[in-house]
């Protein structure tokens, strides 16, 4: 497939991304100037140095833009969520602003990241590193026991994180399997030198779980579909370096922290809407996610009904569009006893969704069932986050900024944000192709080519989508390849794949399947596979088998 090793391939992909691998001399010079005058002693800052904030992130993260503290109140919890104050340092008209606008966002690969800001800022002055005083934009929220946010307050403040914690470490601590020090990130600077607030931090982490679960409950009641997420971690390892993929469990600590971030962004958006109603000259940016159209929902429900009819599903598996209040409620009630089928149904629901977009006007975020949504929570990693902060602090009278009322700057930020999303997607696809190539080249090189288990997640007119077990990998099997391998004609519809040869397996959405790599088609740049069922489909009676045979015959006349 390629003569380059994994690191060389990533470098080549990054070089072709359209953004420089190094920051400009002008941007680095401005960053150095800020190090000399960081604005930490600004008398306008609220003093929150007494709050024992901690960061919770991935093991290797160095750009720490969120810190949290959760405490209990008589009516629920208080969340203090500190965000790195990048907007103080990255101002329109500066080289730092212009270069951040060119990049749009940090770009992430398995072995490195191209930070949007120079490392002197993103990993030092602006990053909420433990043991050092930093500027922050703090969102202070009161959450009721039912997960409803009853109050929010916004302020610029002086903060100091105590610990840099990891998701895995926090999970072990909350589960009672590790001491707090064992939850630290694997670097020497992950703990404040004078840290002596163990009990306060432990209490905060316990409350993090409680408030996270409460916010999840409120999300479900709003009608958010609780999708199961299969994740994998792509790594680069070995000599020569090769891609490796490993299943990854999504931890409760990640979900709880995500809920705080989502709450922050929804409350921030509500603030912007209120501020804009008082001052229509403001030009904020919102993240909008339109609901799927009527025709898409109609197609989805027809597919689900056809699947139900084909498999003779009973009880909660039946989807009755007249009886069920929403697809989210129905999906939540599906039994856990058929995970493959549930995963396939989830894929069908996801395929009906529209893509989200950045807009200059507030709009509903369908996936989160939120009236409005804005990106407050990634101010060092996204230009749209910096712009969002600039609009907020200007409207609140904390810092004047031309970005707050410039349509041209707003539109430039939106374009940069959309371009960066497309750039990351292109990079992810290129790397994923190489991961799949390494995986199946290894299979083809084995003495006995292995069979890999997966689930039939989707059926298009010309291809099948197979999700490999315990991996977030989508393998495509094309109809013309399947016909060449089996010597039979095949018909695909939205829920079934059948051949004109009764001896061959037929396939139904949600089937467990096995695939075996046969060879790589260099001309079409894709692997060709054998395909078999795992035989785990619910038993069909003789009447059903007869109908399947008749359907097969009619389809291939």
CATH number at residue 508: 2.40.50.140
Same domain, 83 and 105: yes
Mean pLDDT, residues 193-216: 96
What is the tens place of the pLDDT at every residue in 55-69?
999 998 999 999 999
**pLDDT of 321 above 80:** no
**pLDDT of 535 above 80:** no
- Give the confidence band of 337 by pLDDT, cuts at 50, 70, 90: confident
Name the helix (H) or strand (E) containing 135. Answer: strand 133-144
**pLDDT of 553 above 60:** no
Same domain, 284 and 201: yes
Residue 27 lies in a domain: yes
Same domain, 405 and 441: no
Residue 441 lies in a domain: yes
- Give the confidence band of 4 by pLDDT, cuts at 50, 70, 90: low
**pLDDT of 399 above 70:** yes
Domain count, the chain: 2
- 376, 399, 434: which is the final residue of a domain? 434
Residue 337 lies in a domain: no
Same domain, 131 and 254: yes
CA distance 555 to 321: 28
**pLDDT of 145 above 50:** yes
CA distance 413 to 408: 9
- Give the confidence band of 537 by pLDDT, cuts at 50, 70, 90: low
Report pLDDT for 1.
47
Residue 389 lies in a domain: yes
- 396, 417, 434: which is the final residue of a domain? 434
Residue 150 lies in a domain: yes
Q: Please tell me whether residue 215 adopts helix, strand or coil conformation.
A: helix
What is the tens place of the pLDDT at every residue in 467-516?
999 888 899 999 999 999 999 999 999 999 999 998 898 999 999 999 99
Same domain, 550 and 402: no
Same domain, 501 and 447: yes
**pLDDT of 555 above 80:** no
Of 489, 468, 483, 482, nearest to 552 by C-alpha is 489
**pLDDT of 540 above 60:** no
- Give the confidence band of 249 by pLDDT, cuts at 50, 70, 90: confident
**pLDDT of 164 above 60:** yes
Mean pLDDT, residues 433-440: 92
Residue 339 lies in a domain: no
**pLDDT of 557 above 70:** no
Same domain, 429 and 442: no
Same domain, 429 and 456: no
Same domain, 56 and 187: yes
- 434, 463, 490: which is the final residue of a domain? 434
Tell me the average pLDDT of the chain. 92
By DSSP bridging, strand 53-57 and strand 149-166 are parallel
CA distance 307 to 325: 20
Same domain, 415 and 463: no
Higher pLDDT residue, 312 or 409?
409
E-state strands within 29-84 = 46-47, 53-57, 66-73, 76-84
Report pLDDT for 257.
97
Q: Which residues contact 552 (CB under 8 A, 6 or more apart)?
A: 491, 498, 499, 500, 502, 506
Running DSSP on this structure, what letter comes out for residue 79? E
Same domain, 35 and 79: yes
Same domain, 163 and 174: yes
Name the helix (H) or strand (E) containing 152. Answer: strand 149-166
Residue 514 lies in a domain: yes
What is the tens place of the pLDDT at every residue in 341-395?
999 999 999 999 999 999 999 999 999 999 999 999 999 999 999 999 999 999 9
Residue 491 lies in a domain: yes
Higher pLDDT residue, 508 or 228?
508
Supply the range of the domain harboring residue 457: 435-555
**pLDDT of 429 above 60:** yes
What is the tens place of the pLDDT at every residue in 13-43?
999 999 999 999 999 999 999 999 999 999 9
Mean pLDDT, residues 85-98: 98
């Amino acid at each position: 497939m390629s003569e380059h090793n994994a690191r060389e391939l990533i470098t080549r992909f990054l070089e072709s991304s359209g953004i420089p691998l190094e920051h400009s001399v002008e941007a680095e010079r401005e960053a150095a100037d800020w190090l000399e005058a960081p604005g930490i002693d600004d008398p306008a800052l609220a003093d929150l140095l007494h709050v024992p904030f901690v960061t919770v992130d991935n093991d290797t993260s160095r750009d720490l833009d969120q810190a949290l503290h959760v405490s209990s109140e008589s009516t629920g919890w208080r969340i203090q969520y500190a965000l790195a104050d990048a907007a103080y340092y990255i101002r329109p008209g500066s080289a730092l602003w212009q270069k951040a606008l060119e990049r749009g966002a940090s770009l992430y690969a398995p072995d490195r990241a191209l930070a949007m800001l120079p490392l002197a800022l993103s990993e030092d002055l602006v990053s909420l590193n433990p043991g050092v005083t930093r500027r922050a934009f703090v969102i202070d929220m009161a959450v009721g026991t039912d997960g409803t946010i009853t109050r929010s307050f916004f302020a610029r403040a002086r903060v100091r994180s105590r610990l840099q914690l990891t998701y895995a470490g926090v999970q072990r601590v909350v589960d009672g399997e590790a001491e707090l020090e064992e939850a630290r990130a694997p670097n020497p600077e992950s703990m404040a030198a004078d840290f002596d607030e163990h009990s306060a931090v432990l209490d905060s982490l316990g409350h993090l779980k409680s408030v996270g679960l409460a916010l999840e409950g409120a999300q479900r009641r709003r009608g958010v579909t609780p999708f199961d997420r299969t994740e994998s971690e792509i790594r680069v390892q070995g000599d020569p370096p090769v891609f490796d993929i490993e299943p990854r469990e999504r931890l409760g600590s990640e979900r709880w922290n995500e809920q705080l971030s989502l709450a922050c962004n929804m409350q921030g958006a509500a603030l912007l809407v209120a501020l804009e109603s008082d001052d229509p000259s403001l030009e904020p940016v919102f993240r909008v996610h339109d609901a799927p159209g009527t025709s898409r929902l109609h197609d989805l429900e027809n597919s689900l009904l056809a699947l139900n009819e084909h498999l003779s599903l009973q009880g909660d598996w039946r989807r009755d569009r007249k009886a069920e209040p929403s697809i989210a409620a129905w999906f939540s009630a599906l039994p856990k006893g058929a995970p493959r089928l549930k995963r396939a149904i989830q894929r069908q629901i996801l395929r009906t969704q529209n893509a989200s977009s950045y807009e200059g006007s507030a709009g509903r975020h369908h996936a989160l069932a939120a009236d409005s949504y804005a990106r407050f929570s990634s101010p060092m990693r996204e230009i749209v986050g910096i712009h969002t902060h600039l609009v907020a602090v200007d409207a609140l009278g904390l810092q004047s900024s031309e970005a707050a009322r410039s349509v041209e700057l707003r539109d430039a930020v939106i374009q940069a944000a959309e371009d960066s999303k497309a750039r990351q997607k292109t990079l992810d696809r290129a790397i994923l192709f190489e991961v799949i190539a390494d995986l199946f080249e290894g299979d083809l090189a084995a003495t006995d080519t292995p069979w890999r288990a997966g689930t039939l997640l989707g059926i298009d007119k010309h291809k099948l989508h197979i999700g490999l077990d315990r991996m977030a990998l989508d393998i495509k099997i094309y109809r013309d390849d399947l016909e060449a391998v089996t010597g039979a004609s095949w018909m695909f519809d939205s829920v079934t794949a059948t051949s004109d040869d009764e001896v061959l397996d037929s396939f139904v959405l949600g089937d467990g399947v096995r695939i075996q790599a046969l060879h790589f088609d260099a001309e079409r740049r894709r692997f060709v596979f054998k395909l078999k069922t795992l035989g785990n489909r619910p038993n069909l009676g003789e009447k059903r088998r007869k109908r399947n045979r008749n359907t097969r015959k009619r389809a291939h006349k």
